[in-house]
Amino acid sequence: MSVSAGPLAGVLVADFSRILAGPYATMLLADLGAEVVKVEGPAGDDTRSWTPPARGETSTYYLGVNRGKRSIALDLRDAGDAGLARELARRADVVIENFKPGGMAKYGLDYASVRAANPGVVYSSISGFGTGAGRDVPGYDLMVQAISGLMSLTGDPDGPPYRAGISVFDVMAGNHAAIGVLAALRHRDATGEGQLVEVNLLSSALTGLVNHSSAYAAGGVVPFRMGNAHPSVFPYEPLPTADNDLIVTAANDGQFRRLCEVLGIPEIPDDPRFARNAARTANREELRPLLVERLAERGAVEWFELLVEAGVPSGPINTIDGGFAMAERFGLDPIVEVGEGDRAVPTTRHPISLSVTPAGYRLPPPELDEHGAELRAWLGTPQEDDRG
């Protein structure tokens, strides 16, 4: 096994996860230098065939969350392959899986079994609804968006609930799994003790609902669907201009005053109805037309330039290509190319910038079982203690 650079260099991750939450977590770890071995069934990760869109014959969904990994195809129902999987788990610093709770036990790959052979292992399990009464409920992001209450908050006030445009809680749970793994590795560095890290989509969803969760937990208030409006701040929503809608987020009194100065209505903040955020929020139906009247004088992009220059947060509503273009404009270099020649794949840059140990992009998303031969040879070589 090669040794990579990066803050997680020398950390071997056995990745038994599929679809999104687990693969996203392991990709983040791979970017930071971990050696990630992606264990796939003979048919491969389901997302390999989730098309369109595709790049060549591989789905862009799969490509988006699997760079930096080595692939080995193992049929865990086969005694020989299951033995190789257990050996991988024995050598690993980290094991990540998102099987149905209890599903790894029949292969001898559950936490108790792996820990018996590898006491220092950090073992992360990702499920939909935990390992208690919800263990038998399949966990899909759309289900959790519905069950958590997110869909009740998304859409027009008088329309039906909507799902978010992405699998937001899969991504959130993947982030939480990566954070948990890093915390457990820090503890292991200090004590030599591994541990079980459990993450479930519903808990990630409830914490991710932040102010809405707090409204219920701390205030007994059940939030309701408000379209693009914010329950506690105004203006903090799209407002029409001469051409397209513009996001305007004047979230404090100073920003609101600067907004009004740019719009040519500097007297508005002195009106008691609009002087403070709580008053503006309570009187939003009176304030909105005053802002919209002025915004109608210019287009969204022109207002964006003027407002940002004045320190007022705002933004045009882009399509995805526009979002990438804006990131390029801001010098964020959002696309990195992984691999060389015909194997080169453009992917989205790791979101964390580290000044001393930056993220790296060593391997393109692997073909199914691309590294199977070398991994089988490595796993078949007796070793007492090997961390890759």
* Residues annotated as part of the active site: 170
Do 26 and 96 form a contact (C-beta atoms < 8 A)? yes
Do 19 and 54 form a contact (C-beta atoms < 8 A)? no
Do 8 and 357 form a contact (C-beta atoms < 8 A)? no
- Residue 357 and residue 251: Cα distance in Å, rounded? 35
Q: Coil, strand or helix: which one is 196?
A: strand
207-242 per-residue burial string, b: 16 or more CB within 10 A, e: under 16: ebbeebbebeeeeeeebebeeebeeebbbbbbbebe
Smallest Cα–Cα separation from 126: which of 114, 111, 142? 111
- Residue 346 and residue 356: Cα distance in Å, rounded? 24
CB atoms within 10 A of CB 322: 11
Residue 131: φ, ψ to 5° = -105, 10
Residue 87 DSSP label = H
**Is the omega angle on the peptide bond into residue 235 within 30 degrees of 0, that is, cis?**
yes
Looking at the chain, list the stretches that DSSP marks H as alpha helix, in order from N- to C-terminal side: 21-31, 60-63, 79-91, 111-117, 141-148, 168-191, 201-208, 210-219, 253-263, 277-282, 284-295, 300-309, 320-329, 372-379
Residue 337: φ, ψ to 5° = -100, 125
Smallest Cα–Cα separation from 112: which of 37, 196, 50? 196
